[in-house]
């Protein structure tokens, strides 16, 4: 069978036809879709269009050719189209499945294969290695992989973008500093809850300070914080990048790690990871022996902002900062999948001395979307530039985000605009801790 | 398929970036919001201005290529499904609000402007554009004009045709005409403006429109009345109007609709009563307060089990947003949702709803009904599964019975969604043979080759089917 026929067959077998039928093509999702907006309202770059393409392949109306694949790749996976869909179409699940099929059936040229292997199997599941991102980058550049990748037109944008991005990265802690952290933190004052902390891989390497800040805030809010040692990467990059099997493996590892701790909640500060964690039950839906355990796990997952609010953090702590205008960029997955959008805003608004200015379309994706800003650089930057315009219109000095990918992207936006002197991007946890400390 | 010569000529007009004929592009312009209709066009073209439209039409007229103008494809009558192939013409690049004239109270727009964008732009200037189809967040002005869309405010303010003052239209042969204008009074010859409104892309391409604006109402109040009994609700509708009150909005939802909408929108709609009326009045505060009080009293006297005025703007907004999502929310229940658009004189609402329920029982299909009670415009909506051929056949029979009943009660087969291809077989029911012939005479006078949206409005054969398979 040719790859195309193979893909077509797998679409028929694996895509949920009921879900495809559920889309009644009303178009309510169109205005919420950033790629539809940025392509001058091209139907194929809309949720309704992408669903139609998937269904078209299943129905045998079209072949899953490169154009179809391109449109599926161009989707940010931000899932802004889901909450607005009155028919409740689970678009994200359809997309994940379709991408998985295409990835698995595709015969990649070796450099692409090698790069995917490096990112998905060698890098993200291994936190130790992630801590050496710098040396990995060096390896990537020296091994000849970079040259080979540059030749394929799929990822040839990677190095240029990375170079710009490097400027935005926070100083990585030394390995010794990383090792120093204990695994148990008692609550300040009376203990009211025990929470297990999901560290995430990027959060715990490049943004370890933010993780430390989050833990400190949770303590101040009366939580005992436990960090299960054997936890691993959430698997979101894999699930969204068409590596579902690997994602499932990671999910099981995490479920086991957290089962060993009797915590009230599983807390994290990265919406991108959280969205997959709350859907572990869906990810493992075909594995009877895991389904229930996954559901129990997922039910406990919460963003730290929700816990802080629930624990009356703002009543317990006096928050203040020097005068500044703050705006908030929603993390798509935090908002559209975890359904957390008001908690971060309430926390920010509780900081004395600052003004909160909602920017227009704060709920629109920033264009980061996993590794999208590497693989679809052009669209990603177009979306980012649009976003920075909105930041400017809000006259913000501080852009707050709640997800590492978005944070890097917004920092990149600040660099691209050349406004490093007057605008900064920070994670909500860091901002809140700053507000506690500077009172 | 287009022949290479035609294709080259069209590309010369719009450039290759705005001429798409990949299988991907053809697929995503093969459908609209109408269930069960799908058919691939040969190409999709995105013109930038009137001149390009003129040249495209001239080429297509010479080469006999069908043209399907398309806004956002939200219509529910298969009006933009390219069943005869040809070219889909989109207006996403012609989406500018050209002028808001505060002295003459008009707006001049290109056809691709999204309805809500226009509404927001004029409201920012303290003006009001009343037509508000539930799809206004997505629909375009070009689509609204060509379907003569109505909305929740239709009862008091009328529908799209009441707000179109003038049009610029490119005809099938490439000629461009201007009808009407900013004038409040104009009786020079035939009223072509009104002819093109609701013409469903079969007479020409609208490239510009002058729309009428009015001052924005000062305030608004929303009221929800619940009834155990459908008949009581319908009588209340008549009683309100008989008392010489014209509410801005007077919407009706039956029990199954409420249940589904509440499930989706969670705004506190009751799910245990048989009929709900959502009523809104706008205007000067004194008038609104007086009217709402009066309406409350009429509802109570009409045996409403509960009458509640929304406490805040937010609460009111939530209720009307919920109503706007009714159709799509119904789509949650079953894979295929077929919505109809039967309209009767408002005094016959109760009779019509009763008949719909009986027809549903007779043909053993699930029908939920909601709609613009104030205008007698009902949307009986059938929840089904297109894969169940046998059930689909019963659905078709049920709808046919509903149309017959509507006509019998002095109504029509569509109040606002248009005839398109879906309802073409029923046009004669409403118009009679001579009526259809007169309409066809106009159509072929303006479009002798029949290139403008062929297959729409006029049925090719007498096959009476509500749904057609792709
Ligand atoms: C959930 C939902 C709710 C809806 N609610 C309502 C409602 O409350 N009231 C109502 O009236 N309708 C409603 N509709 C139907 C539909 O939204 C309207 O008919 C709308 O006006 C269509 O706009 P559009 O831009 O999508 O046009 P399209 O669907 O793209 O086109 C509609 C017709 O106009 C023609 N056309 C479009 N642009 C041009 C042009 N420039 N020149 C010539 N012909 C053109 C097309 O050929 C077609 O025949 C609803 C639809 C949905 C899915
Ligand atoms: S809103 Fe939902 S049902 Fe409507 S077109 Fe989008 S995905 Fe389909
Ligand atoms: S996930 Fe985001 S980018 Fe993808 S179709 Fe939905 S709204 Fe558009």
pLDDT value at position B186? 83
Q: Considering B186, B215, B244, which residue would you say is the last residue of a domain? A: B215
B136 in any annotated domain: yes
Q: Which residue has the tokens 């920012």?
A: B124
Alpha helices in B148-284 (DSSP H): 154-157, 192-196, 230-242, 255-265
* Residue A5 pLDDT level (bands cut at 50, 70, 90): confident
* Residue A108 pLDDT level (bands cut at 50, 70, 90): low
User: Whole-number mean pLDDT of chain B?
Assistant: 91
Using alpha carbons, select from B24, B167, B237, B344 the residue that is nearest to residue A45. B24
Give the residue, A262 or A137, on which the prediction is more confident: A262
Which of A1-10, A52-61, B182-191 is predicted least confidently? A1-10
pLDDT value at position B465? 40
Q: Which of B27, B43, B76 to mutate to test the interface with A (most CBs of A within 10 A)?
A: B27
B423 in any annotated domain: no
Residue B69 contacts residue B205 (beta carbons within 8 Å): yes
Q: Is the CB of residue A380 below 6 angstroms from any atom belonging to ligand 3?
A: no
If asked whether residues B206 and B114 sit together in one domain, one would say yes
Q: Is the CB of residue A155 below 6 angstroms from any atom belonging to ligand 3?
A: no
Q: Considering B310, B332, B354, which residue would you say is the last residue of a domain? A: B332
pLDDT value at position B263? 78
* pLDDT at position A260 over 90: no
If asked whether residues B291 and B340 sit together in one domain, one would say no
If asked whether residues B249 and B291 sit together in one domain, one would say yes
pLDDT value at position A174? 59
Our measurement of the distance from residue B334's CA atom to the centroid of its chain's CA atoms, rounded to an integer in Å, reads: 23
Q: How many domains does the structure of chain B reveal?
A: 4
Give the residue, B331 or A91, on which the prediction is more confident: A91
Read off the pLDDT of residues B327-349 as tens digits, 9 standing for 90 and up.
667 877 788 888 888 899 988 88
Q: Where are the domains of chain A?
A: 3-105, 111-168, 181-309, 318-437
Q: How many CB atoms lie within 10 A of CB A107?
A: 8
**How many angstroms separate the CA of residue B45 from the nearest CA in chain A?**
11
**How many angstroms separate the CA of residue A337 from the nearest CA in chain B?**
16
Which of A129-133, B85-89, B264-268 is predicted least confidently? A129-133
* Residue A145 pLDDT level (bands cut at 50, 70, 90): low
**How many angstroms separate the CA of residue A318 from the nearest CA in chain B?**
31
* pLDDT at position B195 over 90: yes
pLDDT value at position A130? 59
B372 in any annotated domain: yes
Q: Which residue has the tokens 């495209």?
A: B56
Domain at B406, CATH number: 3.30.70.2740
Our measurement of the distance from residue A144's CA atom to the centroid of its chain's CA atoms, rounded to an integer in Å, reads: 30
Which of A76-85, A94-103, A111-120 is predicted least confidently? A111-120
- Mean pLDDT computed over A419-433: 94
What is the gyration radius of the CA atoms in chain A, in angstroms? 21
CATH classification number, A3-105, choose in 1.10.1060.10, 1.10.645.10, 3.60.21.70, 1.10.1030.10: 1.10.1060.10
B187 in any annotated domain: yes
* pLDDT at position A168 over 70: no
What are the φ and ψ backbone dihedral angles of B321, each rounded to 5 degrees? -65, -40
What are the φ and ψ backbone dihedral angles of A378, each rounded to 5 degrees? -60, -50
If asked whether residues B209 and B116 sit together in one domain, one would say yes
Task: Enumerate the residues of chain A whose CB falls inside 8 A of the CB of residue B33.
Answer: 24-27
What topology is assigned to A181-309 in CATH?
A: Rossmann fold (3.40.50)
**How many angstroms separate the CA of residue A89 from the nearest CA in chain B?**
8
- Mean pLDDT computed over A372-387: 88
Task: Enumerate the residues of chain A whose CB falls inside 8 A of the CB of residue B387.
Answer: 21
Which of A317-331, B88-102, B285-299, B307-321 is predicted least confidently? B307-321
Percent of chain B with pLDDT over 90: 69
CB contact under 8 A, A53 and B24: yes
If asked whether residues B221 and B328 sit together in one domain, one would say yes
Q: How many CB atoms lie within 10 A of CB A338?
A: 23
Percent of chain A with pLDDT over 90: 56
The highest-level CATH class for domain A318-437 is: alpha beta
* Residue A239 pLDDT level (bands cut at 50, 70, 90): confident
pLDDT value at position B467? 39
- Residues B76, B327: Cα–Cα separation, whole Å: 11
pLDDT value at position B375? 87
* pLDDT at position B18 over 90: yes
Task: Enumerate the residues of chain B whose CB falls inside 8 A of the CB of residue A22.
Answer: 331-332, 335
Percent of chain A with pLDDT over 70: 82
- Mean pLDDT computed over B358-376: 91
pLDDT value at position A156? 41
* Residue A72 pLDDT level (bands cut at 50, 70, 90): very high
Task: Enumerate the residues of chain B whose CB falls inside 8 A of the CB of residue A67.
Answer: 22-25
- Mean pLDDT computed over A288-311: 94
Domain at B155, CATH number: 3.30.465.10
pLDDT value at position B320? 75
What is the gyration radius of the CA atoms in chain B, in angstroms? 22
If asked whether residues B101 and B204 sit together in one domain, one would say yes
Task: Show which residues on chain B lie within 8 Å of chain A, measured between beta carbons.
Answer: 22-25, 27-35, 38, 40, 46, 72-74, 92-93, 95, 114, 135, 137-138, 264, 325, 327-329, 331-332, 335-337, 385-387
B447 in any annotated domain: no
- Mean pLDDT computed over B393-406: 93
Report ipTM (2 d.p.).
0.91
If asked whether residues B322 and B222 sit together in one domain, one would say yes
pTM confidence score: 0.88
If asked whether residues B46 and B129 sit together in one domain, one would say no
Asked if the domains at A3-105 and A318-437 fall in one CATH topology, the answer is no
* pLDDT at position A343 over 70: yes
If asked whether residues B101 and B203 sit together in one domain, one would say yes
If asked whether residues B84 and B170 sit together in one domain, one would say no
Q: Does residue A257 belong to the interface with chain B, where contact is any CB pair within 8 Å?
A: no
User: Whole-number mean pLDDT of chain A?
Assistant: 85
Domain that holds residue B407: 334-417
B109 in any annotated domain: yes
Domain at B320, CATH number: 3.30.70.2190
* pLDDT at position B73 over 50: yes
- Mean pLDDT computed over A166-186: 67
Question: Ligand 3 center to residue B365 CA distance, Å?
Answer: 35
pLDDT value at position A147? 56
pLDDT value at position B141? 98
* pLDDT at position B295 over 90: yes
B438 in any annotated domain: no
Closest residue, chain A, to B21 (C-alpha): A67
- Look at strands B275-283 and B106-109 and give their pairing: unpaired
Residues 6+ apart with CB under 8 A from B273: B226, B227, B228, B255, B258, B305, B306
- Residues A12, B459: Cα–Cα separation, whole Å: 35
If asked whether residues B104 and B211 sit together in one domain, one would say yes
B455 in any annotated domain: no
pLDDT value at position A114? 66
If asked whether residues B230 and B192 sit together in one domain, one would say no
Give the residue, B157 or B319, on which the prediction is more confident: B157
């Amino acid at each position: 069978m040719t790859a195309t026929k193979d893909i077509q067959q797998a679409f028929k077998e694996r895509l949920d036809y009921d879900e495809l039928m559920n889309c009644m093509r009303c178009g309510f999702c169109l205005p919420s879709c950033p790629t539809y907006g940025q392509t001058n309202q091209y139907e194929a770059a809309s949720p309704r269009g992408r669903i139609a393409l998937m269904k078209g392949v299943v129905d045998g109306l079209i072949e899953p050719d490169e154009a179809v694949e391109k449109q599926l790749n161009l989707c940010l996976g931000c899932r802004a189209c889901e909450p607005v869909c009155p028919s409740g179409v689970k678009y994200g699940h359809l997309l994940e499945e379709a991408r998985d099929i295409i990835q698995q059936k595709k015969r990649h040229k070796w450099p692409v294969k090698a790069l995917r292997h490096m990112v998905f199997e060698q890098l993200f599941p291994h936190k130790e290695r992630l801590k050496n991102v710098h040396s990995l980058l060096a390896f990537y550049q020296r091994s000849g992989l970079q040259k080979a990748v540059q030749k394929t037109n799929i990822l040839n944008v990677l190095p240029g973008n990375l170079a710009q991005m490097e400027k935005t990265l926070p100083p990585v802690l030394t390995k010794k500093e990383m090792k120093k952290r204990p695994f148990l933190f008692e609550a300040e004052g009376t203990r009211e809850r025990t929470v297990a902390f999901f560290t995430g891989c990027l959060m715990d390497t490049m943004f370890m300070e933010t993780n430390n800040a989050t833990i400190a805030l949770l303590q101040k809010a009366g939580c005992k914080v436990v960090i299960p040692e054997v936890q691993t990467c959430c698997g979101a990059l894999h699930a969204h990048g068409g590596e579902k099997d690997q994602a499932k493996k990671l999910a099981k590892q995490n479920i086991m790690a957290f089962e060993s701790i009797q915590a009230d909640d599983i807390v994290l500060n990265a919406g991108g990871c959280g969205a997959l964690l709350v859907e572990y039950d869906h990810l493992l839906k075909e594995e009877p022996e895991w389904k229930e355990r996954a559901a129990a796990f997922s039910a406990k997952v919460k963003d730290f902002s929700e816990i802080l609010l629930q624990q009356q953090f703002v009543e317990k702590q006096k928050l203040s900062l020097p005068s500044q205008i703050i705006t908030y960029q929603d993390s798509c997955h935090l908002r559209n999948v975890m359904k957390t959008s008001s908690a971060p805003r309430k926390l920010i608004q509780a900081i004395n001395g600052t003004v909160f200015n909602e920017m227009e379309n704060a709920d629109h994706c920033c264009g980061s979307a996993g590794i999208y800003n590497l693989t679809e650089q052009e669209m990603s930057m177009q979306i980012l530039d649009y976003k920075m315009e909105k930041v400017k219109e809000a006259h913000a000095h501080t852009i707050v985000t709640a997800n590492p990918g978005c944070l890097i992207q917004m920092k990149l936006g600040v660099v691209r605009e050349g406004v490093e002197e007057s605008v900064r991007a920070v994670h909500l946890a860091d901002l809140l801790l700053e507000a506690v400390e500077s009172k | 398929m287009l022949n290479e010569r035609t294709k080259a000529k069209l590309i010369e007009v719009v450039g290759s970036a705005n001429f798409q004929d990949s299988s991907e592009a053809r697929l995503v312009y093969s459908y609209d919001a109408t269930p069960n209709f799908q058919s691939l066009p040969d190409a999709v073209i995105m013109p930038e201005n009137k001149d390009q439209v003129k040249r495209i039409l001239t080429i297509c007229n010479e080469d006999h290529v069908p043209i399907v103008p398309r806004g956002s494809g939200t219509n529910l009558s298969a009006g933009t499904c390219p069943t005869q192939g040809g070219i889909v013409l989109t207006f996403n690049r012609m989406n500018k609000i050209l002028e808001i004239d505060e002295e003459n109270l008009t707006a001049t727009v290109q056809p691709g402007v999204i309805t809500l964008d226009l509404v927001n732009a004029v409201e920012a200037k303290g003006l009001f554009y009343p037509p508000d189809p539930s799809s206004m967040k997505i629909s375009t002005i070009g689509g609204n004009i060509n379907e003569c869309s109505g909305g929740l405010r239709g009862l008091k303010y009328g529908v799209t045709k009441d707000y179109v003052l003038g049009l610029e239209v490119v005809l099938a042969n490439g000629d461009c005409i201007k009808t009407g204008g900013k004038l409040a009074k104009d009786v020079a010859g035939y009223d072509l403006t009104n002819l093109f409104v609701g013409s469903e892309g079969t007479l020409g391409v609208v490239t510009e429109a002058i729309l009428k604006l009015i001052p924005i109402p000062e305030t608004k109040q929303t009221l929800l009345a619940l009834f155990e009994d459908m008949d009581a609700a319908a009588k209340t509708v008549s009683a309100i109007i008989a008392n010489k009150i014209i509410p801005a909005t007077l919407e009706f939802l039956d029990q199954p609709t409420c249940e589904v909408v509440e499930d989706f929108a969670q705004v506190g709609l009751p799910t245990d009563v048989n009929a709900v009326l959502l009523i809104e009045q706008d205007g000067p505060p004194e008038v609104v307060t007086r009217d709402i009080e009066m309406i409350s009293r009429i509802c109570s006297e009409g045996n409403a089990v509960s009458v509640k005025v929304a406490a805040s703007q937010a609460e009111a907004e939530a209720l009307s947003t919920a109503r706007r999502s009714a159709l799509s929310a119904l789509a949650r229940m079953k894979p295929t949702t077929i919505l109809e658009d039967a309209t009767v004189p408002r005094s016959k609402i109760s009779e019509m709803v009763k008949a719909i329920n009986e027809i549903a029982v007779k043909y053993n299909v699930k029908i939920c009904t909601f709609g613009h009670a104030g205008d007698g415009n009902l949307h009986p909506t059938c929840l089904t599964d297109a894969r169940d051929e046998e059930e689909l056949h019963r659905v078709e029979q049920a709808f046919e019975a509903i149309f017959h009943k509507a006509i019998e009660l002095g109504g029509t087969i569509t109040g606002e969604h248009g005839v398109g291809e879906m309802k073409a077989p029923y046009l004669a029911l409403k118009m009679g043979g001579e009526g259809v012939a007169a309409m066809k005479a106009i159509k072929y006078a303006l479009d002798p080759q029949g290139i403008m949206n062929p297959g729409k409005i006029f049925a090719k054969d007498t096959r009476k089917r509500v749904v057609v398979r792709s």
